[in-house]
């Protein structure tokens, strides 16, 4: 079975490839702010009932659903295997620190401010995951139409321990551009790695996709994890 990654994240793709799974990438077009604005409990830490786990789970589910919908129509996904189901996976990550949920900073000023606030602290990295089986429709008149036959959504949290990062190091790191487009303004698997003193929990979750959680979700959907590997299993 092929895995479809509903994300443009190079880190998520590289993590899957290192685990023996080369994903088919289809990027979602979800408006994240619009999704969060519709949460019945409001935003996390804003007086409502929504939790950090709810936020990242809602975003992951929206991204997975968006890609499934875009791949469902006939002739919309020529790179998918004919007549076979695929596992579509959506993910989202946000950093919780001092009662705030932080996504991507996008600008140097925001990144600089966030990294200064993170140094010498421990923050929680939340990652939402949604996996769905997208299978060919059973009726002949549906042609090549694909439908979601089952899905599951979960979230995971990991503690990230930041070191004492100097102002000069922060300036140099922000200048590389790396922290501008990643959740929480840092990477553990890139240039930001030396500034992180430790991780309590699943390292892969901090990168952006929790392999143990995804395996459990796939199993729940009836997918045998080794069937996702590129190489034939013994």
Catalytic residues: 92
The residue written with tokens 């998520």 in the block is 12
* Cβ burial, residue 33 (10 Å; 0-12/13-18/19+): exposed
Tell me phi and psi for residue 33, to 5 degrees.
-65, -35
- The closest alpha carbon to 115, from 166, 49, 79, belongs to 166
- CA within 13 Å, CB half, 5: 21
Tell which phi-psi region holds residue 29, choosing left (phi > 0), alpha (psi between -120 and 50) or beta: alpha
The span from the CA of 76 to the CA of 70, in Å, is: 7
Euclidean distance between the first and final Cα of the chain, in Å? 16
Token representation of residue 33: 């702010």
H or E element, residue 117: helix 108-118
């Amino acid at each position: 079975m092929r895995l479809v990654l509903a994300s443009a994240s190079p880190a998520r793709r590289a993590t899957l490839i290192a685990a023996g799974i080369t994903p088919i990438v289809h990027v979602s077009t979800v408006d994240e702010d619009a999704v969060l604005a519709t949460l019945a409990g409001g935003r996390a830490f804003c007086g409502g009932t929504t939790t950090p786990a709810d936020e990242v789970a809602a975003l992951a589910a929206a991204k997975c659903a968006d890609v499934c919908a875009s791949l469902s129509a006939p002739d919309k996904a020529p790179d998918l295997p004919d007549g076979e189901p695929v596992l579509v996976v959506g993910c989202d990550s946000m950093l919780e620190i001092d009662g705030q949920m932080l996504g991507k900073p996008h600008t140097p000023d925001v990144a600089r401010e966030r990294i200064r606030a993170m140094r010498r602290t421990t923050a929680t990295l939340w990652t939402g995951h949604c996996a769905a089986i997208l299978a060919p429709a059973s009726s002949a008149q549906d042609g090549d139409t694909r439908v979601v036959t089952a899905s599951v959504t979960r979230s995971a949290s990991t503690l990230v321990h930041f070191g004492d990062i100097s102002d000069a190091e922060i300036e140099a790191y922000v200048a590389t551009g790396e922290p501008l487009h990643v959740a929480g303004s840092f990477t553990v698997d890139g240039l930001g790695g030396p500034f992180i003193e430790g991780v309590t929990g699943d390292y892969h979750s901090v990168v952006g996709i929790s392999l143990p959680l995804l395996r459990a979700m796939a199993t729940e959907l009836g997918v045998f994890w080794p069937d996702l590997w590129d190489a034939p299993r013994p």
